[in-house]
Amino acid sequence: MSLTQGRGPLGGRPGDTNYTIESPAHRILFQEDGRRLRAFVGDSAIFDTTGARLLYETGIPPVAYVPLGDFDMTLLERTQTSTHCPFKGDASYWTLRAGDDVREDAVWAYEQPLQQASWLAGYAALAPAKADRWMVEDEKVAGHLRDPYHRVDVHTSTRPVRVSVGDDLIAETKRPVLVFETSMPVRAYVPRGDLVAGHLAPSPTRTTSPYMGDATYWHVQAGGERFPDAAWSYELPIAEAMKVAGYVCFEGDGISVDLS
C-alpha cells in the first residue's frame, strides 16, 4: 500500500526527491513480519507462524509468505499447476483439503526461485480468500492483513465541506471528520444531521477495511441521476477510526466534494 502503490517509494509515481535510485522498474522487498499469524479452514490451522515475511512488489499490495515448515502439510496436496513470474520464477501449487472441503491451488511457493529472489526458497503463500479466517496474534483479521507501512489518521475538523451534483445540494457541514489514509486522497465524512434529506437509498453492498471496519453503502439520487454505491459509512468502525462512526462519505463521477 504505502510502499508499493501511489506515491510510495515502490509505487508507480513516487514523490519528489533530491536523489535517484538505481533499480529495476519492478522492485521487490522481502521483509520480516514479527506478528504471530494463523489461518484456518474450519477449526484446522493451515499454518501457525511467527516467522512470516511480507513480500512487497511495485504496484501490488503485500503478500504474507510463511516458512513451509509452519504449514500443516497433512492439509496440502501438491497439484500439477505451475505459473511463471519473470521476477520470481516458477511457482508450484498445493490444494487445501480438510475432510470434504477442497480448495484448489490455495497455496503456492517458488521452490527454485530466480537468483534475484533466492530468499523466497523455503517460503509459501496462502491465497487470502482460500482461508475461512486469519488471525494476528489472538485477534481475527478484518478484511485482509494490515500493512505495517499503511497508516490511517482520523481527525475532527471545522473545515467547510459541500457535497453536490450540479446545483443540487446533497450535504453541507462545518463539522466534518477527515480521514487521511496512506496513498489515498483526504476523505471528508459528514454528520448525518448535515445531509439534505431524500438523496440516499440503501444498497446491499458491504465491504471490509482492515484499517476502518465494515462499511455500509447507499445509492445517491441527485441532479436527476442515480449514482450507485456513491456513499458509505462505518456504523461500528474499529477503535482507531471510531470518530467516523455513523458519518457519511461520498465519492463518484459527477459528485463534487468540496473541502475548503
Domain membership of residue 66 (yes or no) is: yes
Question: Which residue ranges of the chain lie beneath pLDDT 70?
Answer: 1-23
Inter-residue contact 124 to 106 (CB < 8 Å): no
Q: pLDDT at position 19, please?
A: 60
Same domain membership, residue 214 and residue 249: yes
The domain that holds 217 is classified in CATH as: 2.170.150.40
Same domain, 135 and 158: no
Dump pLDDT digits (tens) for 199-223: 999 999 999 999 999 999 999 999 9
Same domain, 33 and 131: yes
Q: Are residues 39 and 128 in the same domain?
A: yes
- Looking at the structure, tell me whether residues 38 and 106 fall in a common domain: yes
The pTM assigned to this predicted structure is: 0.79
Distance, CA of 30 to CA of 56 (rounded, Å): 6
pLDDT of residue 1: 42
The residue out of 140, 160, 183 marking a domain boundary is 140
Give 256's contacts (C-beta < 8 A, 6+ positions apart). Answer: 162, 163, 164, 165
Among 161, 168, 165, 214, which residue's Cα sits nearest to residue 189? 161
Residues contacting residue 151 through CB under 8 Å, at least 6 positions apart: 2, 181, 182
Let me know whether 158 and 193 are in one domain: yes
Residue 116 belongs to domain spanning: 28-140
Half-sphere exposure of 140 (CA within 13 A, CB side): 9
Task: Give pLDDT, residue 227.
Answer: 97
Domains in the chain, number: 2
> How many residues can be counted in the chain?
260
What is the model's pLDDT at position 14?
60
